[in-house]
Structure formats: structure tokens, C-alpha cells
Amino acid sequence: MTKRSKSLSERVVVIAGASSGFGRGAAYELAAQGAKVVVAARRKAMLDELVAEIEAAGGAAIAVQVDVSEPKDIAQLAEAALSRFGRIDVWVNNVGVGAIGYFWDIPLEDHARLVDANLKGLIYGAHTALRQFTTQGYGTLINVGSIDSETPLALQNTYAATKAAVLSLSRSLNEELRLAGHEDIKVGTIMPWAVDTPWWTHAANYTGQAPRMAMMDDPGIVVQAIVEACLDPKEEQPVGWKAKGSNIMHHLFPDLTERMSGNVAKAEAEKAMPAPHTSGALHQPMSDGMKIDGGIRERMHAEDKQH
């Protein structure tokens, strides 16, 4: 494969955050299109199952256990990819743990963990990827943000702040790559709406109700956006009409959009079944939630029938 290739076949793609959700979905789809995938996350057993499924379908993949908040783990991830496949064509920074609740109700250690994983972890991945890309002369970095990158959402305070930082970093990196003359290195940011993945059950939650959000998207549209970005990254890529609409609305009417989205978040929380406070998977990974779909829409449907 050359840097000018427009096919995913033989392209080497590193995916951080691949044990569930659209990271896992992207690994399946990229491998099915001929890419060699390097999947990384804290849950090694789930990664091994993913690799076994990809190989059984004729694909090529390796699994690397990684905590993205540890720079040495990120360095080992890059080394594993280079040792097995000789290069890295695409690096997908699909990192994002969450905490839901009023800012003052969420313990300080949970806020700190969000910054360690969502921002510092993404910075470590971006730094490692771009060093490799500048050495080999090409590459694509995909940072997975959120519509929260543009529109801050009440009850997702520090999560939204870290996702805003993701978009800001991506913009800066693209300018620096332009200034340095690295025209064959691109940085794209994926910005989904609320998506039905295990993220919601893995998130810390201090609302007293099970987590939910209005009009959740299917993870398939985000998987497809990630796959497409491997060949054609966009600096700012809202996914789906809800994310695109929210993005436009916030540019035109920022205060109104923030008020409306905050009201929706609160109203949705009040519809949900009671749930105990939890730090979720912030500090330790959970054994459940290894699928692409989170089953949240199904639960929401049952909750809505009770109102």
C-alpha cells in the first residue's frame, strides 16, 4: 500500500477503545474491507474474542491491552503495531469514558479520571501517532469527539469539556501540519449525537436514575463515519442529522441551544428508572458490555410506556 491508496485493503489501522461500542464495530468493518487492525483497550479478554472473530472471517488483527491514560501503554501499542505490520496508516483515538450528574455531585476523582482518559489519553495517542506519521511521511489521525465538542451538555459537564478540547486540539494539529508542510498527514474529528452503545452503562452516574438521552442514534452510522474517515477525514464531522442540526444551531443561537439541550437532558433523566450512584467503569473496567449496541433504546422504550 502507498500513501496515495484510496482503498482500505492492507491499510494498517490502530483502534484505541475497541472492546465495545463503535470502536468494536469499526474494527469488524475495517477488517472486512481488508484492513489490518490493531485493537486496544483495558479489557484484553474481550479484545482476544474480537481478534478471534476477525481472523475466523479471514481478516488480520492483533490485540493489545492498553490503559490510554498511561503513556507507556500507548508507546507499547505503537510498538506492537509496527512490529507486526511494519507501519501505521491510521490511528483511531476512540477514547471516551463518561460521568453523568450535576458537577458538584460527581466526586473529584471521577472528574480527574475523565481528564486523564478523554484528554490526556487522547493527547498521548495523537502524539505517538503523529511522530510516526511525520517519520514515514503520511498518515491519518481520527479523534472521536462528540456533539458535546461543539454544544456543551448539562449533566455531562467535564465529559463535554474534554470533548470540546478534542475538537480544539484537532484544529490546532491540522494548522501545525499545514505550517510544517506535512500535506499527506490529516486529522479528523468524529462528532456523534448520543449513541446507543455500552458507554451509558459504563459511565459514572450520580443522577439517581438510569442513564438515557432523547432520540439516540444507532451505532452503525458512527461506525460508518469512522470507516469513511480512514480514507477521507474531515476536521469537523458531525454524524447524523441530529448532530448536524445541533452543530448549526449552536453556531447560530448558542445560549438557546445550550438551554434547550440542558432541558432535554434533565427531562430524559427524570423518565428513567431509579439507579444507585456508581463510578461505572471509570477506574476499573466492567466485565459486561462488550457489544456494539448498548440496549439503551430498548430500556427507554419500556420506561416510556410507563409514563
pLDDT score of 69? 96
Catalytic residue among 28, 124, 159, 206: 159
pLDDT by position in tens, the chain (length 307): 444 457 899 999 999 999 999 999 999 999 999 999 999 999 999 999 999 999 999 999 999 999 999 999 999 999 999 999 999 999 999 998 999 999 999 999 999 999 999 999 999 999 999 999 999 999 999 999 999 999 999 999 999 999 999 999 999 999 999 999 999 999 999 999 999 999 999 999 999 999 998 889 999 999 999 999 999 999 999 999 999 999 999 999 999 999 999 999 899 888 889 999 999 999 999 887 678 999 999 888 888 877 6
Grid coordinates belonging to 278? 456508581
> What is residue 143's three-state secondary structure?
strand
Domains, the chain, with CATH or none? 12-305 (3.40.50.720)
165-172, Cβ contacts within 8 angstroms, sequence gap of 24 or more: 165/119, 166/118, 166/119, 166/122, 167/143, 167/191, 167/236, 169/122, 169/123, 169/126, 169/143, 170/143, 170/145, 170/235, 170/236, 171/235, 171/236
In tens, the pLDDT along 165-210 reads 999 999 999 999 999 999 999 999 999 999 999 999 999 999 999 9
pLDDT score of 4? 47
Grid coordinates belonging to 183? 500535506
Q: Is 159 a catalytic residue?
A: yes
pLDDT score of 1? 42
Q: How far apart are CA 52 and CA 49, in angstroms?
A: 5
* DSSP secondary structure letter of residue 218: P
136 Cβ partners below 8 Å, 6+ apart? 87, 88
pTM across the whole model: 0.94
